[in-house]
A and B are shown apart, each in its own frame.
Chain A
Amino acid sequence: MLSDERNRLLCQTGPGTPMGELLRRYWHPVAGAAEFSRTSVKPLRILGEDLALYRDRSGNWGLVDRHCPHRRADLTYGFTEERGLRCNYHGWLFDHTGQCLHQPFEETLHPGGRFKDKVRIRAYQVQEKAGLVWVYLGPRPAPLLPDWDQYYRRGFKQVTVSELPCNWFQCQENSIDPVHFEWLHDNWSAVLRGEDGYRAPAHQRLGFDEFDYGFTYRRIRADTTAEHPLWTTGRVCLWPNCLYTGHFEWRVPIDDTRTLSIGWFVDELPGDLPYEQDVIPCWEAPVIDERTGRWIDTHVMNQDYIAWIGQGVIADRTMEHLGESDRGVILMRKRLLDDLEEVAVGRDPKGLIRDPERNHRVHLPLVPVPGSAAGPRPFVFLAGQPAEVFEQYTQAWHACAASAAEKESAAGG
């Protein structure tokens, strides 16, 4: 249970709020890079700020105020040029640093005038990595964008984007809540399949370990022992707003009542020959079942969404009754509250990487994820995977299987 004041402290992320200041110390994924093969400018609301995300014709990424500083027109209807983004209203041009580069009519009347030098728009840093577009809205110098080892894992990768009508923090609390797997995913799924009598192996013991980039949560269930990787290694609540279990699920606040759920997945491919993916596909995962108007309940993350959205737009933590299964959730709250104090006095919060020497294929604890020897596996995490994405994966899987068989045959022959 939390006071209303504490709850707001953890949930509110707009500019100037303590949690907003904390989250602005981290890089956040906000889109799939592949989205920018179809468009060059995208409206982006993030941490309560309305922005325009673009890639200009030289390939530079930019993230600037959504409104032109001239007469406040919407820059997401602007157009990109070799260098920067030009407003469609009167043609003012801005580069990715926010500097105004061109004011057509002003310069016609005053060719030597330097009005444009006096005009600057709010601008933030952007990077592309692992098929994702990342943004940093905090004070400079920015920390390094983490180079997680998982990005280099061989396999078929894909990115998903969903928009959820609830606050980010209840989504992230799910990242350190092992027992929900047993009920929300195992037992409820069985009920949905009509297997009413089924009960998943029950959780017997929980543990949490801190490390540089978050916490691991560990579990022993009725069907596992203390030797199982779920206990010896555990899964990762990645600081401050991600779950990592072999794939990543970031929960990025759009504002205080909406969250961008960004998924990054890698499917194992047969064999061990090099596999390079030209483009990591990105698709928007639907959350509503159009037949019923209810939330989709067929896939793992969709089930999570139902729980989070069901908690209310902003979960009322003054009304909750926490038990032993919530020790991780309390641990997270406490650590974030401590981090807020660190940021308030000018120190870095947990998990930032500033040393380039340390930022090379940074290891995250990983419970081995079984590969698929029998054939391409259906995507279990989210409903709505486009057929063409599954087809790309299937083709990659069969190509790798054929190469592996060829290699084995050559070795045998």
Chain B
Amino acid sequence: MGDAATGRVRSAAEVAEARAYGLTHADLGAWRHLTPIEIYWAVQHHVAPAAARRWAAAGLRVGDAVRAIALGMTPEEIAPWAAAGFAPGDAVEAKEVGVPLETAAAWREAGFILPDAALLIRDGWTLDQAVTARYAGIPAEDWSSP
């Protein structure tokens, strides 16, 4: 089965998956670039194909788009994060915890990927505390110099 937008041919496995979710050929056509599980999740959460495509254009798969919509985000909010080298989904993660881009960048600079940092921030950690904790047992002079 072909994808009209991308020319991509859906594999037999993908078509079988789609059938298992109760999706039709028409559904797969309407939801062009999405995988069966994404289509299923989008339908479950009342995300329209056009909306899913807008979020996809911003780099978000349906799962993250559903979370972003629940947080009141717009696709335009993703771009600054992507431009700063974060995974597009990180923008949603950050929004959930209330972490601004500059803070996320500082944590990343210290070696914490955003989801890890977000969990720590949610638990009330400061960056200094996290850095100190991660090097517990190692003399400061071995890790604190540039």
Contact = CB atoms under 8 A, between A and B. Distances in A.
- Mutual binders A and B: yes
Contacts of A368: 13, 16
Interface string A226-243: 011100111000000000
A208 to B, nearest CB: 7
Contact of A216 (B37, B44, B115, B136): B37
A148 to B, nearest CB: 12
Interface in A302-321: 318-319, 321
Interface in B67-102: 87
B14 A232 contact: yes
Interface centre among A232, A234, A334, A337 (most CB of B within 10 A): A232
Nearest to B97: A334
B27 interface: no
A333 B91 CA distance: 19
A363 B87 CA distance: 30
Given A3-B123, A233-B37, A321 B115 contact: no
B38 A209 contact: yes
A330 to B, nearest CB: 4
A70 B37 CA distance: 54
B113 A229 contact: no
A334 B119 contact: yes
A1 B120 contact: yes
B11 A229 contact: yes
A232 B17 CA distance: 9
Given A232-B13, A321-B111, A363-B21, A211 B133 contact: no
B41 A210 contact: yes
Nearest to A229: B13
A322 B110 CA distance: 12
A209 B115 contact: no
Contacts of A367: 13
B40 A211 contact: yes
A16 interface: no
A318 B136 contact: yes
Nearest to A4: B133
Contacts of A207: 61
A233 B63 contact: no
A210 B61 CA distance: 10
B62 interface: yes
B115 A330 contact: yes
Contacts of B17: 232-233, 365-366
A323 interface: yes
A209 B10 CA distance: 18
A232 B13 CA distance: 9
Interface residues of A, number: 36
Given A3-B125, A209-B61, A363-B21, A322 B113 contact: yes
A2 interface: yes
A6 interface: yes
Interface of chain A, helix or strand or loop or mixed? mixed
A333 B119 contact: yes
A333 B93 CA distance: 14
B14 A229 contact: yes
Contacts of A323: 113
Nearest to B115: A330
Nearest to B66: A210
Interface in A28-77: none
B28 to A, nearest CB: 12
A324 interface: yes
A233 B8 contact: no
A266 to B, nearest CB: 17
A408 interface: no
Contacts of B116: 1, 322, 326, 330
Contact of A211 (B9, B41, B61, B113): B41
A333 B119 CA distance: 9
Contacts of A122: none
A210 B21 CA distance: 14
B37 A211 contact: yes
A287 to B, nearest CB: 31
Given A207-B61, A229-B14, A365-B17, A319 B136 contact: yes
Interface of B: 8-11, 13-14, 16-17, 20-21, 35-38, 40-41, 44, 61-63, 87, 111-113, 115-116, 118-120, 123, 125, 130, 133-134, 136
Nearest 5 A/B pairs, CB to CB:
A363-B20, A330-B115, A229-B13, A210-B63, A322-B116
6 contacts: A2-B123, A207-B61, A232-B17, A233-B36, A322-B112, A330-B119
Given A210-B41, A227-B11, A368-B16, 13 more contacts: A2-B123, A6-B119, A207-B61, A227-B8, A228-B11, A229-B14, A318-B136, A319-B134, A321-B111, A322-B113, A324-B113, A330-B116, A363-B20
